[in-house]
Structure formats: C-alpha cells, structure tokens
Amino acid sequence: MGWTKALTMLGAAAAALQPVAVSAQQACVTEEEAGAIAIYSVPSLVQAVRLRCDGQLSPNGFLARSGNDLINRYGPVQSQAWPEAKSGLIKVLTSKAGAAQRPGNLEMIRSLPDDAVRPLIDALIVQETSAKIPTGHCGQVERVIQYVAPIDPQTASGLLGAIAGLVNHREFPVCRPRSS
C-alpha cells in the first residue's frame, strides 16, 4: 500500500472517529482536540471493529493477537485525553444539536459528572463507528490499526490530529493551526 493511500486511510480513520455527522457550519475543533478524541476513542474503536468485523478477520490476525494489549495500553491514556476530548466532543455535539435541543440537552451533558458521561460516549463511539465500517474493508481497517499501534499514544495523538486537519472532513472540521 502506498504512502498516499495509507495517509488517506489513516485520515479517513481519524474522521471516522467522529461518531455523529455534523453540519458544515459547526465550530471547528483544534488539532489537539481531534487528537485527544482519537486517542480517547482507541479502546472503543477496537471494540467497534471487532463487533462489525466478527467473522471477517483472521482468528490469528492483529486484533485477535494484540487487540486487548492495544486496549490496555490506551485505557490509562483515556483519562489524560478526556478533558480535551470532551471539549472537542462538546463542540461537535453543539453543532449537531438542533437549535431547540441545544441549550437543555448539552447543558445536561456538561453538568453530568465525567464518570457518568464517559460510558455513554464510549457506547456511542462503538455503535456509530461499527455501523460505518464496510465489512469489505475490515482487513484494511485492521492493517491501519496494526500500523498505528506501535506508535506512542501521545505521538499518535499529534499525528492523528494533524492528519484530521489535513483531511478536514466536512463532518469533522478541524481549525487551521495558529501560525507560530
């Protein structure tokens, strides 16, 4: 697989991390927030791929052999990524919500303790992501996960945030980075 195709797939994976479709007029998320969402989502994404691709992947493939190790490696990082991931997700949900729903529902989400919100977000990621994976792409998705897996979670966060900024999917707009 060429670098262009790999980057495109990785960018698509980063965009797919966004669990709900968002209107084009939404407030953008920062690259840092996009990266935090990506890192926060890894355990749920592995679960979503396993759910959707059950029977499609080799019982000796990467997710069968090393999926739990990957989940265990990113699990502790979730707590560190959560504040920035939550900030980005609130922006996405604010843009997604209809004008009538926005104030009440989002205020309720903001006011709930994180330990109540996180399981809901995790379930949403699994549900929405698994529905968007074409079963014909299960092998490719597993390979992308395998290629990204050895990267340190903090480095992966920056990489995936930058790729999301390059791809800048209309359903997941990423703010242009500030010039230094």
The range of the structural domain enclosing residue 88 comes to: 9-167
| In a domain? residue 141 | yes
**Three-class secondary structure of residue 100 per DSSP:** coil
As for how many domains the chain has, the answer is 1
Checking phi first, is residue 151 left (phi over 0); if not, alpha (psi -120 to 50) or beta?
A: beta
| In a domain? residue 62 | yes
Number of helices (H), then strands (E), in the chain = 7, 0
**pLDDT value of residue 1:** 45
| In a domain? residue 128 | yes
| In a domain? residue 68 | yes
| In a domain? residue 4 | no
**pLDDT value of residue 175:** 84
The C-alpha atoms of residue 166 and residue 49 are separated, in whole angstroms, by: 24
Nearest Cα neighbor of 177 from 14, 33, 22, 23 is 33
Contact 180, 42 (CB under 8 A): no
| In a domain? residue 173 | no
Residue with tokens 């903090």: 154
Residue with tokens 């990785």: 10
| In a domain? residue 103 | yes
**pLDDT value of residue 96:** 65
Per-block mean pLDDT, blocks of 10 residues, the chain (180 long): 40 44 58 92 95 94 96 92 91 64 64 88 92 95 94 90 77 71
The C-alpha atoms of residue 123 and residue 112 are separated, in whole angstroms, by: 16
Task: Output the six-digit token pair for 100.
Answer: 């009538």
| In a domain? residue 43 | yes
